């Protein structure tokens, strides 16, 4: 089988470490602090804490040179390449919705430094709201997920660790669909189906839900026993029980590995069906009015693996699996 090669996107992350201090001058023996920046204006995970400096490695430079350059450009300090040590490598992949439905794969190299020249200050105020030293063993809650993994390795005293993120993430699209393909009108659910609500609860309990703002509004609250990540462009929006992402890419990065249930609406279904592993669809024997439809299920790409009949108006609960992602042992 021919496998598609991907273009490597390497990035260097600078992890500045110092001995923790108790007050202004006394050293807090045995504890270390790490310098983090608060992201803003980047259109990706703004409001999350990240390493003090980071960026793509440019053509013709080594990762060490790239980290030193980022230190100069983002923090205004000088770091010698010989003072950098590899702490962790993170290989990650994520769906990056586009017209081509691309997957993005990256390799991130985290380099520690305990000595440098100059005082770190924000050099790119349009990208960083502030810099702050944090205890390495007490990181803030909102640290960019793949960076948290690397920083926790550093905190544990590990060196040269490797982490793979996103490769075990499996997308399951779950929806109730009318005979005409309609799933809603963009404002409220087009039906009230108690049996299907129980099915949805049983299927998703203990999992991670990703949904758009319209779907959240139609439900009206966080569903117990599940993480709920809401995708909205509205900055500053929040709701009890909801984790907020400002793009689908953000939402999937925050969701992490394992099964992630895509719960609507129509645009999010359309952006993710090309990378989904499973569809769990409730066939409803109704034709409600509405402009929001579930994407067409192509039987050449999807194989029906189970069908459980329901009571009218539910025709059946149907599970599809993507043919090219089924385990090799199921092949002929």
Question: CA-CA distance, 187 to 214, in Å (whole number)?
Answer: 6
Pick from 7-16, 66-75, 230-239 the range whose average pLDDT is largest. 66-75
Beta strand 102-113 with 10-22 is parallel
**How far is the C-alpha of 297 from the C-alpha of 100, rounded, in Å?**
18
The per-residue pLDDT for range 239-257, each reduced to its tens digit, is: 999 999 999 999 999 999 9
| Count of C-beta atoms within a 10 Å radius of residue 102 | 14
pLDDT in tens, 257-291: 999 999 999 999 999 999 999 999 999 999 998 88
Tell me the domains of the chain and their CATH numbers.
10-165 (3.90.79.10), 169-330 (3.40.430.10)
Q: What does the mean pLDDT of the chain come to?
A: 91
Query: Helix 248-255 vs helix 145-155: angle between axes, to the nearest 10 degrees?
Result: 30
User: Residue 130 to residues 39, 85, 112, 167: CA-CA distances in angstroms?
Assistant: 8, 25, 20, 32
| pLDDT tens-place string over residues 31-87 | 999 999 999 999 899 999 999 999 999 999 999 999 999 999 999 999 999 999 999
Nearest to 79 by CA among 67, 88, 61: 67
Q: Which helix (H) or strand (E) holds 258?
A: strand 258-262
d(CA 223, CA 38): 30
DSSP codes, 75-116: I--B--GGG-EEEEEEEEEEEE-STT-EEEEEEEEEEEES--
Comparing CA positions, the residue from 37, 91, 83 lying closest to residue 64 is 83
**How far is residue 313's CA from residue 10's CA, in Å, rounded to a whole number?**
52
pLDDT over threshold 50, residue 211: yes
Q: For residue range 120-150, list pLDDT tens digits in order.
A: 999 999 999 999 999 999 999 999 999 999 9
């Amino acid at each position: 089988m021919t496998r598609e090669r991907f273009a490597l996107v390497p990035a260097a992350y600078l992890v500045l470490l110092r001995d923790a201090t108790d007050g202004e001058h006394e050293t807090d023996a045995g504890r270390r602090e790490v310098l983090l920046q608060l992201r803003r204006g980047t259109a990706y995970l703004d409001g999350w804490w990240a390493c003090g400096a980071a960026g793509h490695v440019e053509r013709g430079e080594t990762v060490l040179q790239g980290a030193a350059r980022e230190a100069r450009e983002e923090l205004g300090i000088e770091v010698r390449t010989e003072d950098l040590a590899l702490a962790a490598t993170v290989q990650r992949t994520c769906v990056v919705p586009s017209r081509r439905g691309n997957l993005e794969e990256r390799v991130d190299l985290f380099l520690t430094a305990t000595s440098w020249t100059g005082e770190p200050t924000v050099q790119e105020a349009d990208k960083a709201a502030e810099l702050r030293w944090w205890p390495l063993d007490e990181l803030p809650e909102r640290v960019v997920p793949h960076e948290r993994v690397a920083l926790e390795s550093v905190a544990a005293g590990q060196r040269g660790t490797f982490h793979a993120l996103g490769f075990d993430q499996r997308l399951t699209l779950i929806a109730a669909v009318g005979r005409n393909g309609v799933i809603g009108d963009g404002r409220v659910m087009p039906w009230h189906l108690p049996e299907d609500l129980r099915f949805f609860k049983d299927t998703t309990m203990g999992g991670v839900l990703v949904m758009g703002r319209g779907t959240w509004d139609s439900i009206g609250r966080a569903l117990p026993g599940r993480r709920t990540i809401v995708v909205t462009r509205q900055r500053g929006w929040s709701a009890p029980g909801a984790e907020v992402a400002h793009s689908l890419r953000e939402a999937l990065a925050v969701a992490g590995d394992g099964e992630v249930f895509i719960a609507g609406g129509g645009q999010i279904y359309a952006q993710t069906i090309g990378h989904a592993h499973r569809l769990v669809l409730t066939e409803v024997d109704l034709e409600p009015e509405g402009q929001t439809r579930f994407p067409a299920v192509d039987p050449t790409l999807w194989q029906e693996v189970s069908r459980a009949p329901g009571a009218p108006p539910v025709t059946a609960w149907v599970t599809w699996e993507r043919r090219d992602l089924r385990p090799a042992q199921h092949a002929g």
